[in-house]
Amino acid sequence: MTQRTLVLIKPDAVRRGLVGNVLGRFESKGLTVVALEQRLIDGEQADRHYAEHVERDFYPPLRAFVTSGPLVALVLEGDEAIEVVRAINGATDGRKAAPGTIRGDLSVSNRENLVHGSDSPESAAREIALWFPDL
Ligand code: RTP
Ligand code: MG
């Protein structure tokens, strides 16, 4: 089934010059870019995006990280795009993520892990409306 999913190429990836590498993996897989914009977000946008995590112990440093510099927000479309993107991203902790995934190849951090991908159709709908309300 064709799906859309919200992806963030996080500030560590932008700082490290990895936007092309990360985006290229999604494009090479066959996913279509429906929207794409570089943005510098404030803490309130971070809180809205990570609403499910705002009470967690790890949230304050996560909030500082995602607001620490520009990120690239995009919407990707394709067959089973939500699960396909999560598989390409790899496990949350870059030290444990499988080689061949973005995190497994390029991150050794549990926080600075380069990418976000929506985790369900409900999350994708909510996040796409939050980041790209005109879509
Ligand atoms: P994402 O939402 O960014 O796609 O990542 P995910 O589903 O793999 O991981 P999630 O559990 O939703 O966590 C969101 C982001 O919070 C940071 N994090 N830090 N224990 C920690 O210090 C910790 N755990 C998670 C990561 O940046 C993670 O991607
Ligand atoms: Mg998540």
Domain ranges of the chain: 2-131
92 Cα nearest atom in ligand 1:
8
Nearest to 24 by CA among 39, 38, 37, 9: 9
What ipTM did this prediction achieve? 0.94
Which one of 113, 115, 118 would you pick to mutate in the ligand 1 pocket, going by the greatest count of ligand atoms within 8 A of its CB?
113
Architecture field, domain 2-131: 2-Layer Sandwich (3.30)
- What is the overall mean pLDDT for the chain? 98
Residue type, 108: V
Average pLDDT over residues 111-115: 98
Q: What whole-number distance in Å separates Cα of residue 92 and Cα of residue 36?
A: 23
Nearest-Å Rg of the Cα atoms of the chain is 14
Q: Which residues surround ligand 2, an ion (CB under 5 A)?
A: 119
- What is the pTM (predicted TM-score) of this model? 0.97
Q: Ligand 1: does its nearest atom lie under 6 Å from the Cβ of 86?
A: no
Q: What whole-number distance in Å separates Cα of residue 8 and Cα of residue 59?
A: 17
Tell me how crowded residue 130 is: count the other CB atoms within 10 A of its CB. 14
119 Cα nearest atom in ligand 1:
7
What is the pLDDT at residue 111? 98
Question: Predicted confidence band at 43 (pLDDT cuts at 50, 70, 90)?
Answer: very high
